[in-house]
Chains A and B, each alone.
Chain A
Amino acid sequence: MATLEHYLILSAILFCIGVFGLLSRRNAVGILMSIELMFNSANINFVAFSKFINPDILTGQIFSVFVIAIAAAEAAVGLAIVVLLYRNFDIVNIDKINFMKW
């Protein structure tokens, strides 16, 4: 039987993988995917908390639906910019675009 702790640990692991990917990936699409992982780990949290703490009120589950929508919007804009970079400047790797110092 999976308890709340299991879900939380899973989400924490996912979140950490996402952060790691964000920091280590060089490909812009890969970075966007890592960010999706971070969003989804939060979603797991919401749904798990909703189920174990307050199963009658679906606040947490609703929140996760919103997060999915927002993550999709962010990914759409992100991919648009990546496509732009690729089409106009032939770049997909983030370390190639350092024309301004960080």
Chain B
Amino acid sequence: MYSEGFPILSLITYLPLLGVLLILLIDKENIGTIRMVALLIAVLNFIISLPLFFLHDVSTHHFQFVEMLNWIPALGVSYYFGIDGISMLMVILTTFLTPLAIWSSFSAITERVKGYMISFLLLETGMLGVFVSLDLVLFFIFWEAMLFPMYFIIGIWGGPRRIYATVKFVLFTMAGSALMLVAILFLYFLNYYYTGVYTFNLQELGNFPIAPNIQLWLFAAFALAFAIKVPMFPFHTWLPDAHVEAPTAGSVILAAVLLKMGTYGFLRFCLPLFPHAVYEFMPAISILAIIGIIYGAMVAMVQKDVKSLVAYSSVSHLGFVMLGIFALNVQGLEGGILQMINHGISTGALFLLVGMLYERRHTRLIADFGGLSKVVPVFAVAFMIITLSSIGLPGTNGFVGEFLILLGTFKTNATYAVLAATGVILAAIYMLWMFQRVMFGEVTKEENKKLTDLNLREKLILLPLILLVFYIGFYPKPLLVRMEASVEHLLDTVNKKYRVESIEQNNQDKKITIAEIVNPEKNEGTHDE
């Protein structure tokens, strides 16, 4: 094993498991202790993860805090953890939001608290594992392992249609990742064919030119898994169901972290491994992203339920992220990554706010509200700030991200940028219209007059999110600086490989077809070691 100093990534990833063990020891009637242990573990995990941000070496694109050890040597599977500027931000986002989500469920979850907290901590381990794994098998394991805690969180503590929603969520995700597994195995044997090394190590895998026609298939298999998770336009149908039915904290984590796994997957795997296919698929994905932006916004506009409005706005926002990534330039990518974080903060906060409202009124229909700003002013202010950040008002975090994405897209294709910009306008319409109907006007319903304003716990949950909204809005540099080296390196890899492959493609002698690679005679040598 070699690791650069203290294995901090493993500690962060598995600390929640320690929490699970602790909670298992507590009697299930002792709800207060269970909640405190879960929260403390999550907060502790956040504190431990902070050095990743502050000690991050901005000068290099290399993976940092690397841990590497042979795990299944017979197959070349390694236990390989490491982060760069991109995944570091995702890790921090996860450890930052998990305690808030757990804290927010103190009042919302009153039944089977033990199981809930266990599921949540297991989920955190799964999510962190996905972001820090640099071995394809390890990545896949965490990717799938995180499904089942989510299945239970939605299925047990969710809304009325929770069963349908959770089964749909799990089946969609599984169906997508099933083909990714086949692609991973294919890539593995392909790599052996070229290099003679059995490895699933991400950095060693990509070091040979994959024939363009094979790249298309592999890219498609990976992209399907990630596109379902993002979710991209035609695969988004699980998302509104899952978001609406999940308990508040589940929605927060789902929106803020789980969706990012899809976009992160594109960044980490699809781009560097299959550059040719990326360029080939670029128009298709950009167009799907734009359809997602506009369609998500349109559907959000007509929603009657605040939570499903927020859910559809996610489809729209994630469209922006995908558009930024597939602009394939520095601005687009940086904007996309920043927007991933922004969406995590804003939409996470929106779900929290909606959840707080729901706990008081047990309804989420826009028509049931109205004039709330008079009754619950603090809540209204918080909601206002988050709404504006979600729209992307200058001075909030959303503006920086969307601006960079549009800038990047404009450099690649002006038409896309113009179309996507309509999404910004639509977002302003549906968010502000919703805000107006909920917050302004006369208080028409009796029940709304008795609403209590935010209590201390709720204020403390929202405060860090609101601070971040402004901090990133006014001074995004610390984040941008940290991702810069990684983004530039990523683009370098993509373009360099793409050029090499284009040359090779012209050289017809070197073109390799699937048939040749799978030819059993050629593989004969593979099983006599």
Q: Do chains A and B touch in the complex (CB under 8 A)?
A: no
Residues of A within 8 A of B (CB): none
